[in-house]
């Protein structure tokens, strides 16, 4: 589900941004050519003015395709910020898309070049003023992703599905279950591409870029559920689950959500109580015959 800003529209605006390789901590930027009347031979984002009734996000996706030949799906786009401008564009909307596509596989449609730039090399570039300010904002916001234990939280990727499902299977098996229950339950917990497209999903990576956690925020008309929070068994109790929840809480607040709900495995209920969730009295039966009864908890943000 794209950010609410993805679908915002205005009469006149500029929308653009960059690609972000979270594991390599690099951004893909564009070198403007000497013919452009604005900021020639300077590094900048991909982007441009809106056309017709485009939304912010639609404009960004179109510009990426026109400038580098890359077609990005809306669910891969992350909103960074937007703000008023005194230029002809009147408003600037900035996004980024998670990708590690090699630059040689891209087709440069305009400009003098493109390159993957490490975040710690950004200060050495001759950037446009707006691009520099937006990148500084982006780097500052990474403290929402990289904190204690140097964990990195990124949008879940389809290519990670085998690792995600393997992690879920090992994490679910951490607890003791009635005979025959676990095998049937794991079939219901399996994550697929449709689930990734339908919800906000995140991978938790350690300093070696290994998957150590997974969680999702599933929004419906009535509730936003902290769903499928799993931690690799050998790292349970090391703060990964708490870090994931802190990220989820801030993500929800940024969206304007005021409550989160969770339906945890019974052995994990104490963890959620320590984070401030409270019982609602609601009980949900297991989808597996003979399985446990699950309690519903709620957190006011």
Same fold yes or no, 4-143 and 148-300: no
Taking residues 103-114, report their average pLDDT.
85
Confidence of residue 202 (pLDDT cuts 50, 70, 90): very high
| pLDDT at residue 142, rounded to an integer | 67
pLDDT in tens, 240-253: 898 899 899 988 98
Say if residue 192's pLDDT is above 80: yes
Helix axes 161-172, 181-189, angle to 10 degrees: 150
Taking residues 90-100, report their average pLDDT.
89
Q: Note if the pTM is more than 0.75.
A: no
Give the number of residues written for the chain: 301
Rounded CA-CA distance 213/206 in Å is 9
Domains of the chain by residue range = 4-143, 148-300
Say if residue 290's pLDDT is above 90: no
**Reduced to 3 DSSP states, what percent helix, strand and coil does the chain have, rounded to the nearest 5?**
35, 30, 35
The CATH class of 4-143 is alpha beta
More confident residue, 76 or 279: 279
| pLDDT at residue 147, rounded to an integer | 47
| CATH code for the structural domain at 148-300 | 3.40.630.30
pLDDT in tens, 137-156: 988 776 444 444 468 889 99
């Amino acid at each position: 589900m794209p950010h609410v800003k993805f679908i915002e529209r205005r009469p006149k605006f500029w929308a653009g941004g960059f690609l972000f390789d979270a594991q390599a901590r690099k951004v893909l930027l564009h070198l403007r050519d000497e013919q452009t009347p604005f900021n020639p031979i300077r590094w900048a984002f991909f982007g441009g003015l809106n056309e017709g009734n485009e939304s912010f996000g639609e404009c960004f996706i179109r510009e990426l395709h026109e400038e580098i030949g890359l077609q990005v799906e809306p669910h891969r786009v992350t909103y960074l910020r937007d703000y008023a401008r005194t230029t002809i564009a009147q408003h600037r909307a900035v996004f980024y898309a998670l990708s590690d596509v090699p630059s040689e596989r891209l087709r440069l449609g305009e400009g003098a070049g493109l390159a993957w730039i490490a975040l710690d090399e950004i200060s050495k570039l001759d950037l446009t003023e707006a691009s520099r300010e937006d990148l500084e904002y982006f780097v500052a916001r990474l403290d929402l992703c990289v904190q204690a234990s140097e964990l990195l939280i990124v949008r879940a990727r389809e290519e990670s599905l085998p690792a995600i499902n393997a992690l879920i299977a090992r994490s679910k098996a951490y607890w003791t279950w009635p005979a025959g229950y676990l095998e049937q339950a794991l079939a219901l917990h399996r994550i697929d591409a449709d689930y990734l497209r339908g919800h906000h999903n995140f991978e938790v990576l350690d300093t070696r870029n290994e998957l150590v956690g997974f969680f999702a925020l599933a929004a419906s008309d009535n509730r936003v559920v902290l769903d499928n929070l799993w931690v690799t068994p050998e790292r349970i109790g090391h703060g990964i689950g708490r870090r994931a929840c802190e990220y989820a809480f801030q993500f929800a607040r940024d969206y304007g959500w005021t409550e989160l709900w969770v339906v945890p495995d019974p052995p994990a209920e104490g963890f959620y109580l320590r984070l401030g969730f409270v019982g609602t009295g609601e009980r949900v039966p297991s989808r597996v015959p003979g399985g446990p009864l699950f309690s519903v908890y709620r957190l006011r943000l």
